[in-house]
Amino acid sequence: MAACALPVVARCVRLKLRSPHAASSIRCCLTLEGFHTGLTVSTTQDSQTLRHYDSLIQGLCLEEDVQQRRVLQQLAQLQNTLKSYCNSGYLKPPTPVVNRSDDHSNHRNGEDSIRRKTDNEEADSPKKEKETLTPPPRGFYIYGDVGTGKTMLMDMFYSQVENGRKTRVHFNSFMLDIHKRIHRRKQSLPKRRLGEMFTYDPITPVAMEISSETCLLCFDEFQVTDVADAMILKQLFETLFRTGVVVVATSNRHPDDLYKNGLQRDTFLPFIGVLKEYCQTLCLDSGVDYRRLNRTPARKLYYLTWEPDGEAVMDALFDELALGQKSATGPQILTVQGRAVTLEKTCGSISDCTFHELCGRPLGASDYLEMARLFDTVFIRHIPLLTLAEKDQARRFTTLVDNFYDHKVRVVLQAACPLEALFVHSGGDDVRDQQLLDDLGLSGDALKRLTLFTAEEEIFAFQRTISRLLEMQTEKYWTQGDRSYAKR
């Protein structure tokens, strides 16, 4: 099997599309962190991932690229390892040490006997078990700017992994599931009696539960914006990694920049060290958003509020799509985690909403996931110019687009300005922020430092929103999102 030396920093190369209908086009500058100079990597020519890559080249969808192949070689090695990998050996709990007291008459002999037995157990069983377990495979953390092809590479790898115990999920959806599991475990506890005090930590049991279900977790858009998520990640992932779960993740952030300037970030920093220990860091970033290139546009799907016929054209498009539905047009009530969310105008798998309905109310990822499950096409009308005063709405809009994009939901938009100018970085609400500052007991410098107030994370993430919305207006995306067509 041939091998090739992997340099610490690879030179920039370009992967070109020969067909506008190819999955993506990528020009990447690849750097690897955590590798020593001179490290050799197997080419794994028999890898399904590389064979799939070759088939795209032979089909004139992609052009051969040496550096792209080297990225896939890293993923291909992991793919081959996972073919016969199982983490069940790491799930065995340690042998419990039993301490008990004997009769007073035999106290001395019994104590010595127990101590000898305990020492033998610790010296033999656990150590022998640990010696037979090799360290689990290291995963990958692939980061870079928007539209550079990170998700395409991960999905190419994931689709070729021959292991039934694998999961591919958007990171938002994963954390929602974690919080649901934690809540479920807390609810199952027996009720406390008056004056009774006890503590219960559900995070480790939840992680063990997930480890028993899967040994490969692939995350898209790994990001940390919520203090509640930040507080549990270290313990959660320490347990996942310790029990042999392999993680492959994509992100727009370098690991060191995760939860940057977040509230109580000091308590989050140890997680970054854990992530780097168990995942090799790959940079895939050319500075070019390939979602903007070589795309055949679909029909007009983005309308400006001040266009004279925009509203009427959108009405006509809704009526046209509604003709293919087997339902009448009317309101629909969604039940999400026990809450009722009403959408005023729906018809089968189509929903016609205002921006206020979707982002002006306190909705979140769980609500948008339920919409993505029910609807394949969503009209979003009257999107305003978003400023820092509307950073909450901008955050919800980003979450909405992430979930819709991940589930191939089609969108028709009506906004106050062109997409590129939709979010301006000015106009913050000083009164509301000051009130929140007082409630949290923070000093005045937090207004300029914490992302909770600066909207740095929203500004950063909104670039991904724009990039994805551009792709969502292409003919290919529109066709793929038609669920009625997919069922034929």
pLDDT score for 41: 38
Cα torsion angle, 240, 273, 250, 180, sign: positive
Here the tokens at position 156 are: 């190419």
pLDDT score for 481: 86
pLDDT score for 68: 67
Task: Give CA–CA dist 238/377, Å, rounded.
Answer: 39
The answer to whether 403 and 368 are in contact (CB under 8 A) is yes
Per run of 10 residues, the mean pLDDT along the chain (length 488 residues) is: 35 37 38 35 56 78 65 86 90 52 43 41 46 83 85 88 92 91 86 67 93 94 85 93 95 90 83 94 77 76 91 94 92 93 96 96 93 96 90 91 94 94 70 50 48 61 88 90 67
pLDDT score for 447: 46
Contacts of 135 (CB under 8 A, 6+ apart): none
Here the tokens at position 277 are: 């220990």
Task: Give CA–CA dist 390/428, Å, rounded.
Answer: 8
Fold (topology level) of 3-87+132-290: Rossmann fold (3.40.50)
DSSP H or E stretch at residue 180: helix 171-187
Here the tokens at position 314 are: 């959108």
pLDDT score for 424: 82
Contacts of 196 (CB under 8 A, 6+ apart): none
Which DSSP string corresponds to 16-44?
A: -BSSTTSS--EEE-EEEES--TT-EEE--
| List of E strands, 310-349 | 330-336, 339-347
Residue closest to 23 by CA, chosen among 171, 178, 125, 149 = 149
Which residue is listed with tokens 């809704």? 318
0.85 exceeded by pTM? no
pLDDT score for 446: 47
Please work out, in degrees rounded to the nearest 5, the angle formed at the alpha carbon of residue 469 by the alpha carbons of 317 and 473. 45
Q: For 421-438, b where at least 16 C-beta lie within 10 A, e where not — what string?
A: ebbeeeebbeeebeeebe
Which residue is listed with tokens 């086009």? 25
Please state whether beta strands 13-15 and 26-28 pair in parallel, antiparallel, or not at all (unpaired).
antiparallel
- Give SS3 for 331: strand
Domain spans of the chain?
3-87+132-290, 296-486
Contacts of 228 (CB under 8 A, 6+ apart): 179
Contacts of 308 (CB under 8 A, 6+ apart): none
Residue closest to 1 by CA, chosen among 35, 50, 41 = 41
- Region at 102 (left for phi over 0; alpha for psi -120 to 50; beta for the rest): beta
pLDDT score for 369: 94
pLDDT score for 428: 55
pLDDT score for 277: 95
DSSP state of 267: G
DSSP H or E stretch at residue 169: strand 166-170
The answer to whether 401 and 395 are in contact (CB under 8 A) is no
Q: For 295-333, b where at least 16 C-beta lie within 10 A, e where not — what string?
A: beebeebbbeeeeeebeebbeebbeebbeeeeeeeeebe
pLDDT score for 274: 94
- Region at 43 (left for phi over 0; alpha for psi -120 to 50; beta for the rest): alpha
pLDDT score for 435: 52
